């Protein structure tokens, strides 16, 4: 079917530091074609998402905040008093999962659950004072991470990307 010859393989590859090269960048010219994978948006997006996630984690490692935690705190900070259901729906997180996320954030005194008077089933979510100041720091680091993205794909490419995907935010 495909035009590539059925070479019986040469497993040893280049020479010694093949590991480094191959792991460094996937699209390295290692002679392995991707065929139909090129042209599939999902594949490129998945690889990019992995890269961007790792850079975020690396950049915010000092404060031990991961993307999901950051998104939760950001939404609560911008909309104090939200229900867990509201946050979960807005961020596309399952409410079952948000429970653990909030347990962790509450344990670190960054977020607090306040029992709602109007609906005794629900909790109103707020940042603690410490949560506010911490979030400000997180945002600075997140901005730095965003600069890494710019350096990786270019400034206008990043903006174009945000524009293309604005429906999904």
18 touches DNA (CB under 7 A): yes
Q: Does the footprint of DNA cover residue 23 (CB under 7 A)? A: no
Distance (Å, rounded) from C-alpha 60 to C-alpha 70? 10
> Quick check: 95 binds a copy of itself (CB under 8 A)?
no
Which of a copy of itself, DNA, none binds 90 (CB below 5-8 Å, type-dependent)?
a copy of itself
31 sits near DNA (criterion: CB under 7 A): no
- The candidate with the shortest Cα–Cα distance to 149, out of 167, 134, 161, is 161
Taking CB under 8 A as the rule, does residue 15 contact a copy of itself?
A: no
Give the CA count within 13 Å in the CB-facing half-sphere of 74.
14
- Considering only residues 59, 72, 123, 131, which one is a binding residue for DNA as defined by CB under 7 A? 123
Helix or strand or coil: residue 115? strand
**C-beta closer to DNA: residue 86 or 141:** 86
Contacting range for DNA; rule: CB under 7 A; set: 90-98, 127-135, 142-150, 153-161? 90-98
Largest CA distance in the chain: 71
Q: How many CB atoms lie within 10 A of CB 63?
A: 13
Residue number, 121 or 163, with CB nearest to DNA: 121
Least separation, in Å, of the C-beta of 161 and DNA?
Answer: 20
First to last CA, the chain: 41
Distance of CA 7 to the CA centre of its chain: 39
Q: Tell me: does residue 66 bind DNA (CB under 7 A).
A: yes
């Amino acid at each position: 079917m495909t035009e590539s010859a059925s070479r019986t393989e040469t497993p040893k590859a280049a020479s010694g530091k093949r590991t480094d090269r191959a792991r460094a960048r996937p699209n390295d010219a290692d002679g392995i074609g991707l065929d139909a994978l090129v042209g599939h948006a999902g594949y490129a997006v998945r690889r990019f998402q992995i890269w961007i996630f790792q850079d975020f984690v690396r950049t915010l490692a000092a404060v031990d905040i991961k993307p999901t935690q950051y998104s939760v705190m950001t939404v609560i900070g911008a909309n104090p008093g939200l229900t867990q259901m509201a946050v979960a729906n807005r961020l596309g997180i399952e409410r079952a999962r948000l429970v653990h996320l909030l347990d962790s954030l509450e344990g670190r005194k960054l977020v607090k659950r306040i029992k709602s008077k109007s609906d005794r089933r629900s909790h109103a979510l707020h940042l603690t004072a410490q949560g506010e100041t911490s979030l400000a720091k997180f945002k600075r680091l997140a901005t730095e991470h965003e600069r890494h993205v710019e350096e990786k794909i270019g400034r206008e490419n990043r903006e174009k990307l945000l524009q293309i995907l604005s429906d999904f935010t």
